[in-house]
Amino acid sequence: MYTVTDPATGVLVEEVANSTAEEVLDAIGRVAAAYPGWRGRAVEERAGVVARAAEIFAERADELAAIMTLEMGKRVNEGLGEVGIVVDIFRYYAENGPALLADEPLEVKGGRAVITKGPIGALLGIMPWNFPVYQVARFVAPNLVLGNTILLKHASICPRSARAIEEILHAAGVPEDVYVNTYASSRQIPGILADDRIVGVSLTGSEQAGISVAAEAGKNLKKTVLELGGSDPLIILDTADMDETVNATATARMRNCGQSCNAPKRIIVLADLYDEYVDRLTKRVAEYFVPGDPADPETKLPPLASIAAADEVAGQVARAVEQGATLRAGGRRISPGAYLEATVLTDVTPGMDAYYEEIFGPVAIVFKATDEDDAVRLANDTPFGLGASVWGTDPDRLRRVADRIDAGMVYFNRAGGSQADLPFGGIKRSGIGRELGPAGIEEFMNHKSIRL
């Protein structure tokens, strides 16, 4: 069952029945049958449809933001910001897609060749709840321009987002069988991946979801892209303005109520700055990030996406304290609804669960590093490798540290970034493949070698 439950109140708003087995088979058949016709259109025509989708997403920004607030508790201002980057993504691939798909001449021994860049078929997208429109956009926009067709299974708490996205794409001119939304259950995913008509799958979600989907995809020899969890380090080497650094890093951690895979979940501070930073961060978090109604533009900290999610994060915080961590601020569950006070933990050490696990909520963990080498060691001491950020005033030092960090993305003096023209993805247990930028259109691409 797909459900809409207001996380601010815990009140059930809507229920949507799962797609039946027959409906799922019909959806697979539709996207598979639509593939030859869609790939046969000129890339400029497909790009034009995607450009029109960008316009409609912009026109319906207020509606989409309100849906996100109701479904998963996103602050209304953050919802509008999410739609803004969605528009950027669709525009980027509409404007750059034709050039990115141009033939690539290749000089080879004994003559010439050309690499053509085309689609591969019908794809399955499995999307999460934390960014209900953005996550879909970064998978869908490049693949529509490329010429693939899409069967989309959204998160079970986001049926209204799923419905609105489908409506927008069809209104933009995407044929109804080229993009099909399904309310399939997780139990139906193995059957979809076993179907020969589906040739690839992209999942954004938890590590365990990625393991499950990767196993099924591998068993059926399906191309796979996985964007999974993260425990991103944020290293503070030095600062010219401590208040500015505290405000920026606290905001980065608490954005989307801490429910971002690439949020800075481990803040690593050199010893000479540590005490001052922790003191100021604790005050900032306690005084500024106050829980409130996510529909109110003045709210600084919304609820988590569900009561279950809030209970899980509260349990992780309690367990960290039981194992010896110091609770500097917050940590208290607030009812009704899915609220958790913004939290600061210190003195988290190896052997504690919180040292290695991802905490998907408004919880900042601060570590003290003795020097630059120790900061890099702490940054890399994680099974994840999604993003990272390095903060300081010396560009050469920032680059030196960035080169030593095991991650798919590193930012200077900002954290948790994402933009349409920059590849996004990680290494280690954070996933496989890239989205966005030039790389994002290549994951489900047939690089065909033609020997002339």
Tokens of 370: 């003795």
Tokens of 38: 């869609």
Interatomic CA distance for residues 104 and 328, integer angstroms: 56
Residue with tokens 């509008």: 80
- DSSP characters over 391-422: E-S-HHHHHHHHHHS-SSEEEES--S---TTS
| DSSP single-letter state for residue 18 | P
Residue 257 appears among annotated catalytic residues: no
H helices of 157-300, in order, are 159-172, 189-194, 207-219, 242-254, 271-288
Distances in Å between the Cα of 231 and the Cα atoms of 260, 299, 328, 333, 366 are: 10, 26, 20, 23, 12
Residue 312 appears among annotated catalytic residues: no
| Annotated active-site residue in 78, 207, 227, 435 | 227
| Annotated active-site residue in 166, 207, 257, 261 | 261
Interatomic CA distance for residues 390 and 238, integer angstroms: 10
Tokens of 429: 């247990």
Distances in Å between the Cα of 248 and the Cα atoms of 239, 289, 318, 348, 412 are: 12, 13, 26, 22, 12
Q: Check if the beta carbon of residue 126 is closer than 8 Å to that of residue 189.
A: yes
Interatomic CA distance for residues 329 and 340, integer angstroms: 11
Count of alpha carbons within 13 Å of 174, Cβ hemisphere only? 31
Catalytic residue numbers?
227, 261
